[in-house]
Structures are given as C-alpha cells and as structure tokens.
Amino acid sequence: MSAHSTLDYLISPGGTLQGRIRVPGDKSISHRALMLGAIAEGQTRIEGFLQGEDTLATMAAFHAMGVEIDYQDERVTINGVGLHGLKAPKIPLDLGNSGTATRLLAGLLAGQSFDAEITGDASLRRRPMRRIVDPLQQMGADITCSEQGTLPLTIHGGQGLRAIDYALPVASAQLKSSLLLAGLYASGTTCITEPAVTRDHTERMLREFGCELQRKRNRICIRGGSQIKACHVHVPADISSAAFFLVGASIATGSDLILERVGINPTRDAIIPILQQMGADISLANQQVVSGEPVADIRVRSASLHGIDIPQDKVAIAIDEFPAIMIAAACARGRTRLHGASELRIKESDRIQAIASGLEVLGIDVRTHEDGMEVRGGVVSGGTVDSFTDHRIAMAFSMAGLAASGPVHILNCGNVATSFPGFPNLASAAGLQISISGESHGG
C-alpha cells in the first residue's frame, strides 16, 4: 500500500449540501464480516461491503491463507474454512494502513498452528502494538513486536492458548475484539472487562455467526471452541463516514441532506447527540435492525451551533469522529472543550495536533492538552492545511471549506481511499466545491 502523498484537495468557499446520498459501507463491520466468514463453516455472503484499501488488505491477507473469496463490487462471497482451516501464508501479511485489521488479526492468528508475520505501511508501523501483544502472551501466544512496541508482529503458531480474565487498561474496541477472537481458540472461557463501553460490532457479529457470548454490564465472556456458522451479512453505511456530511450540512447555510441506511449502533452513534447538543438539526427515519445492527436514514439541515463541553461518557464512543466534530466546534458560537481523548494521539496521526494545526491555519483559536483540546468558534478563513496523510483529517477539513471565507487547500489526501473511496465525487454530487490535484500512486 502506498502513502499517496501527492494527492491534494482544493475546496472553494461556499457550497450547500443537498439531496440524498449513501456513504460507503461500514469499515469496522466489513473487516469483521471478512474475518468471521473466513473461519466459519459454510459460505458467507456480504452485501454493502466497503471497497476501501483497508478492507481489501484484509481480504488479501485471507487469500494468502487459502480462503476462497469472490469479490464483485459491494458483494462478497466467502467459502469459510472453519476455525482450524487457515493455511500458513508464504509471505508477510501486509495490512497497509489498517490498525483494525492488524490488531484483530493478531488475536485470530495467535490460535493458529502456523507461523505468520504482520506488517503495514509507514503510518501503521508507528502505531502501538504492545497493548495487544501483552495480553495475548498472557494467553500463551508466542507473539512479539519490535523493541519500540510497533510492527512487525511475529507470531509462532501451535502454542495452545488458555483463557484469561482480563481488564482492559484502556477503552479499546480493537483490543477487546482481538482477545475475543483469540478466545475462540483458547481452552476455557475468556472474559474481558471494559473501563468504558466501546463499539460492540464484534459481539453482535459473533452472535450473527452463531457464537454464544455472555455479557453483564462491561464484562464479556466467550467460550473457546465455539463453532462459527456462515451467514448473510448486510453492511450498513458507515456512520464514521457519514459524520463528515453531518457536520458539513450543519455548518453550510441552506443545507438539507439525507444520508441513507446509516448504521446507528448505540456504541458508535455518539456524534449525533453531541451535534444535537451543539444545536444541530438532525432527525432519524426508517429505523430497523439488519444483520444485528440498527440502521436509519439520517436527515440533517443547517443550524446555528454553539460550543459545549463534550460529555465524558461520549468520548470513547465518538473517538473517530472528533476530527469532524472539531470542525463543527470551529463554526460554533463559544468554546467547545474535549478531555479524556488521549487515544487520539495514537491514531493514523496525532489527531489532537493535526486538528489544532489545521484550525490555527484557518484562523481559529485552539488550545491543546495531552488528552484533548479547547476550540473557540470564530470566522473560518482560507489556507493550506496538512492532513498528515490521515484520511479523517483530510475529510474533516474538506467540510471546513463549506464555511470558509477563502479556498482551503488540503495536502496529502490519498489515504482517504483507505476508508472512503470516491469521497470527492460523492461530496461534489452533494454540493461541496472540491477539486483534486496531484496523482495517486497505486492502491
């Protein structure tokens, strides 16, 4: 996977978001559907699959381990090989920019009979992995990372995992999910306690695939050896991708936009009440549950926003949406304060610093803290913003152009394709005045 560093966006000021759009399928759910489909008994069909570089890297990893996958646009068919049917890959598994795939796959591979190595692009190779390695080692896995606690991960198979009772040191759905997948291969019952509720897609999908879980408040338990049975998965539109349009339509005068069939999982939808608390005009229609996940059409209209203190119980749930939320804060009256979000420091970029740097370029007063930031809303000017090759930073500042007084030039936007292929085209169709310069190398 490449860094695509020469691809830039130019947003012309003004614009209004109108009409009905559907953003791509949920990335988190697409990853999990691939993984469970691969180790299930029988044939799994996925509809609405995200055709992003991250999810395609996961698909390639399972191809390399002998899984037959038929892929046609958003429809994927997987011939599952069962819990113990994966084969040793002949090359290191390159997961590109995907922290989700890396951490979840580490748990799944810890219980296999063969050796494997996981690597990724330059950005992923900087992200912390020891939080995964340590508990997997407690389960008996032979897994190591670099001395710096980063990729590559080296896993020696055939170890015979044992169940553990583990309290997560941080609220992390990736860590929780990694241990649940390892727990499938462990003797006994693995129990995980969360310090705060995180996205529960893994638990919901395990149940869809016929696996029994026990949950009591923040404690989840899984029994080793549980059979995984193939099923039909409908992937909803990704609320993390919808987030940019929720903010964009809120800050662009005259906007009235409907986002179709978006996942509104209560462990993922915190951006909606956060924006509503800021004064956003957001409503839901056609609510239903599909493949164990709640979905709805979301209507958002322009509104006058005001600053708030982000509720602490929403921080872990909204962690991926803060680049977008802070653009809303920049356009709101008064101050918006965020604390308890130190996890933002170790995403695809140091998102606290990346957001602050971009907002300061656009004339907004920002103060950063180790675990958050304070943004005073004001007049957004034009300027040149570096996305630091972070897809969510690039898309967030694209929406800032809707309220800017001059053009917003965003550098290093190629990695948007990891989670939202076709973003410029869809955003343009909705009313964002966006043009692309440079070129994409690969992907």
pLDDT for 439? 62
User: To the nearest whole number, what is the mean pLDDT of the chain?
Assistant: 96
Is 390's pLDDT higher than 80?
yes
**pLDDT at residue 185, as a whole number:** 98
Return contacts of 333-336, CB within 8 angstroms, 24+ apart: 333/304, 333/305, 333/306, 333/307, 333/377, 334/306, 334/307, 334/376, 334/377, 335/307, 335/374, 335/375, 335/376, 335/377, 336/278, 336/307, 336/308, 336/309, 336/310, 336/374, 336/375, 336/377
What pLDDT was estimated at residue 5? Answer: 46
Find, among 26, 9, 21, the residue nearest to 255 by Cα: 21
| Mean pLDDT value across residues 86-103 | 96
pLDDT band at 73 (very low <50, low <70, confident <90, very high): confident
Band of pLDDT at residue 441, cut at 50, 70 and 90 = very low
Q: Model confidence over 145-185: pLDDT tens digits?
A: 999 999 999 999 999 999 999 999 998 999 999 999 999 99
Residue matched to tokens 């947003």 = 11
C-beta of residue 109 within 8 angstroms of C-beta of residue 156: no
Q: How far apart are CA 208 and CA 42, in angstroms?
A: 14
Instruction: Give residue 6's pLDDT.
Output: 77
274-305 confidence digits (pLDDT tens)? 999 999 999 999 999 999 999 999 999 999 99
At 238-272, the pLDDT tens digits run 999 999 999 999 999 999 999 999 999 999 999 99
HEC profile for the chain? CCCCCCCEEEECCCCCCEEEECCCECHHHHHHHHHHHHCCEEEEEEECCCCCHHHHHHHHHHHHCCCEEEEECCEEEEEEECCCCCCCCCCCEECCCCHHHHHHHHHHHHCCCCCEEEECCCCHHHCCCHHHHHHHHHCCCEEECCCCCCCCEEEECCCCEECCEEECCCCCHHHHHHHHHHHCCEECEEEEECCCCCCCHHHHHHHHCCCCEEEECCEEEEECCCCCECCEEECCECHHHHHHHHHHHHHCCCCEEEEEEEECCCCCCCHHHHHHHCCCEEEEEEEEEECCEEEEEEEEECCCCECCECCHHHHCCCHHHHHHHHHHHHCCECEEEECCCHHHHHCCCCHHHHHHHHHHHCCCEEEEECCEEEEECCCCCCEEEECCCCHHHHHHHHHHCCCCCCCEEEECCHHHHHCCCCHHHHHHHHCCCEEEECCCCCC
Quick check: 357 and 326 in contact, CB under 8 A? Answer: no
Asked if residue 323 has a cis previous peptide bond (ω within 30° of 0), the answer is no
> What residues are labeled active site?
320
Fold of 8-25+237-437: UDP-n-acetylglucosamine1-carboxyvinyl-transferase; Chain (3.65.10)
**pLDDT cut 90: percent of the chain above it:** 95
Q: pTM (2 decimals)?
A: 0.94
Measured over the CA atoms of residue 361, residue 363, residue 369 and residue 372, the dihedral's sign is negative
pLDDT at 26 over 60: yes
Q: Is the dihedral of CA 169, 175, 177, 180 positive or negative?
A: negative
Equal fold, 8-25+237-437 vs 27-234: yes
Averaged pLDDT, 66-95 = 97
pLDDT at 197: 87
Please provide the CATH number assigned to the domain covering 27-234.
Answer: 3.65.10.10
Predicted confidence at residue 438, as pLDDT, reads: 81
Q: Where are the domains of the chain?
A: 8-25+237-437, 27-234
Residue 32's Cβ-side half-sphere holds a number of Cα atoms within 13 Å equal to 29
pLDDT digits (tens, 9 = 90+) for 326-385: 999 999 999 999 999 999 999 999 999 999 999 999 999 999 999 999 999 999 999 999
